[in-house]
A and B are shown apart, each in its own frame.
Chain A
């Protein structure tokens, strides 16, 4: 398992690294300097990123993570202290697993594995949601394009749909893209 530790305190990162080594995890890279971190993380391609909950640069880091899809990695948090309820809430609230108490070695491996598992489950969910959304948008565009064709060419719905399908096949494009082009063109041309 390849692990990246992002921490503004080199001393604390070293302690964490030692804990990971004791747990048999030796492929660890520490990031203290935040400059250029996105590119360096991307190059490293870690299985999991371990970051301090209270890291003062988290807003910047999250923005970098949000911008680069290739950077999408499970993130585990470590905190100085917490109660059980806090851990449960944390795990419910996000992709992050939650590491407490200076990384006790018998705890660390299952937590990192959990982080990766939860991340994968969430990212699958998100992909499905994105696909469902774009399918919905596509259907809407097709309906609008059909309505436009029916109105402007005075044809019925099956004929409008057939025209769309033919145009798509002739131009090697998806029917949703053709519909989208018609709707956009109509909006641009107005009543011309």
Chain B
């Protein structure tokens, strides 16, 4: 049997794990796919390679897939997301002296209280505090903004937000170019390890089940060979099963740490994948049970409501203007239909609905499925708001209170 060549672009981050493991554990090969991975250092390059056909799919920021489809800053190219590569896994890291003013260094705290103290510091500061995010259209940017707004800090007036690519996060903190950053692992831990940053919050404290990286494909490419897409999704799903296998953690950390993948410390990567976070240099790791979700609770299912939430945040940030067609298009980027078609043969739980009330689950809840049993854990936001995709205007009206 000849294997179909298939290339996936990625950035060196722990949440690129599933495509990497699909290759390294042979799940892609089992599906007749000769999977290769293309490593880059900026999201613009990963996205361009996808659009230019250097890659067939990409480990991508979910909002960037939406922005590309809507044509923000460039001609529109329709992208599709048939599979979510993970939930959360990011953190907010501040320079150590600033962190000491807002949190108990070395341990997780109440993010609302930390944000309130940050608001006081920001008001009294001689110059605006400057925060880094990994991209204009990143979940990091929208999650940071969500937290700041929720704590009474105007992300455009009270502070400044700039772009810093993940591999340069620690350098930018060390050089004083930024006062804090919202970035994925292992780059927070790298900053902590070097003593140039202290983690003050992980993003799961802001939203327990925040959509993070996705598998994005050009829609035309995805639809031209549905069978290939389905085989790829099954390989990625099996990689997710392996990812949560405690017995394989050490092996997985070693693989991800290789020079052609993350090119980093297996110890730091191991912390992230076992949800054990060192918040500050010299402190013991702390268990953060919901730090990153790559598999459980159908974490890979592309909920249309996740795309809708991201679009809502883009509206709040002023990145898109009111446009009902755009809202519809943004939601259509997420393709639960493709996910279901691909994974049905595996007999795994498939949610019956394609959309849910985001942030609406307080206690674990059994949900309707077309196949299998599925229990979703609490998914609340730190400010206890929830998001109903059919009530976008009301949601936005409730947000702009600063």
Which residues of A line the B interface, CB within 8 A?
53-63, 66, 77, 82, 85-86, 89-90, 92-95, 98, 122, 133, 137
CA distance A25 to B35 in the complex (A): 42
Q: Say yes or no: A89 contacts B43, CB within 8 Å.
A: no
B286 adjacent to chain A (CB < 8 Å): no
- The DSSP consensus for interface residues of chain A is helix
Most chain A beta carbons < 10 A, residue from B51, B53, B167: B53
Asked if A66 contacts B41 (CB within 8 A), the reply is: no
- A94 and B75: CB pair below 8 A? yes
In the bound assembly, the distance between CA atoms of A57 and B164 in angstroms comes to: 8
* B54: A residues at CB distance < 8 A: 82, 86
Do the beta carbons of A93 and B44 come within 8 Å of each other?
Answer: no
Query: B316-347: contact bitstring with A at CB < 8 Å (1 yes, 0 no)?
Result: 00000111000000000000000000000000
Contact B163 A53, beta carbon cutoff 8 Å: no
A179 to chain B, nearest CB (A): 16
Given contacts A53-B49, A95-B75, 18 further A-B pairs with CB under 8 A are A53-B45, A53-B48, A55-B42, A55-B45, A57-B168, A59-B42, A59-B44, A59-B165, A62-B73, A62-B163, A82-B52, A82-B54, A86-B54, A93-B51, A93-B52, A93-B74, A94-B51, A122-B75
A55 to B168, CA, bound (A): 13
Chain B: interface residue total (CB-CB under 8 A): 28
Residues of chain B lying within 8 A (CB to CB) of residue A77? 48
B399 at the interface (CB under 8 A from A): no
Cβ A133 vs Cβ B321 within 8 A: yes
Chain B positions within 8 Å of A94 at CB level: 48, 51, 74-75
Q: State the B residues within 8 Å of A (CB).
A: 40-45, 48-49, 51-54, 73-75, 77, 134-136, 162-165, 167-168, 321-323
A59 touches B43 (CB 8 A): yes
A-B contact pairs, 18 of them (CB 8 A): A53-B45, A53-B48, A56-B167, A56-B168, A57-B42, A57-B165, A58-B44, A59-B42, A62-B44, A63-B162, A66-B73, A82-B52, A85-B53, A86-B52, A89-B52, A90-B52, A94-B74, A94-B75
Q: Is the CB of A60 within 8 A of B164?
A: yes
User: A89 CA to B77 CA in the complex, in Å?
Assistant: 10
**In the bound complex, do residue A60 and residue B136 qualify as a contact, i.e. CB atoms below 8 Å apart?**
no
* Closest residue of A by beta carbon distance from B72: A66
Residues of A within 8 A of B162 (CB): 60, 63
Establish whether residues B45 and A54, one from each chain, have CB atoms under 8 Å apart when the complex forms.
Answer: yes
In-complex Cβ contact of A60 among B48, B77, B165 (8 A):
B165
- Which residues of the partner chain A approach B321 to less than 8 Å between Cβ atoms? 133, 137
A62–B45 touching, CB < 8 Å? no
A59→B134 contact, CB < 8 A = yes
Residues of A within 8 A of B167 (CB): 56
With A56-B41, A56-B42: A93-B165 Cβ-Cβ less than 8 Å: no
A-B pairs with the 8 shortest C-beta distances?
A56-B41, A58-B44, A63-B163, A93-B51, A58-B42, A90-B52, A59-B42, A89-B53
Look across to chain A and name the residue whose beta carbon is closest to the beta carbon of B64. Answer: A59
Distance in angstroms from A141 CB to nearest chain B CB is: 11
Closest A residue to B164 by CB, please name it: A60
Q: What's the Cα separation between A62 and B162 when bound, in Å?
A: 11
Question: Cα distance A79–B54 when bound, in Å?
Answer: 11
A56–B45 Cα gap in the complex (Å)? 8
Give the residue among A56, A89, A93, A98 with the most B Cβ atoms within 10 A.
A93
Cβ A66 vs Cβ B74 within 8 A: no
Shortest distance between the CB of A167 and any CB in chain B (Å): 25
- Enumerate chain A residues within 8 angstroms of B52, measured Cβ to Cβ: 82, 86, 89-90, 93, 98
**Other-chain contact of B53, A54, A61, A86, A137 (Cβ < 8 Å):** A86
In the complex, what residues of A have CB within 8 A of residue B41's CB? 54, 56
Task: Specify which chain B residues have a CB less than 8 angstroms from the CB of A86 in the assembled complex.
Answer: 52-54
B163/A60 in contact, CB under 8 A: yes
Q: Which residue of A lies closest to B166 (CB)?
A: A59
CA of A181 to CA of B77, assembled, Å: 37
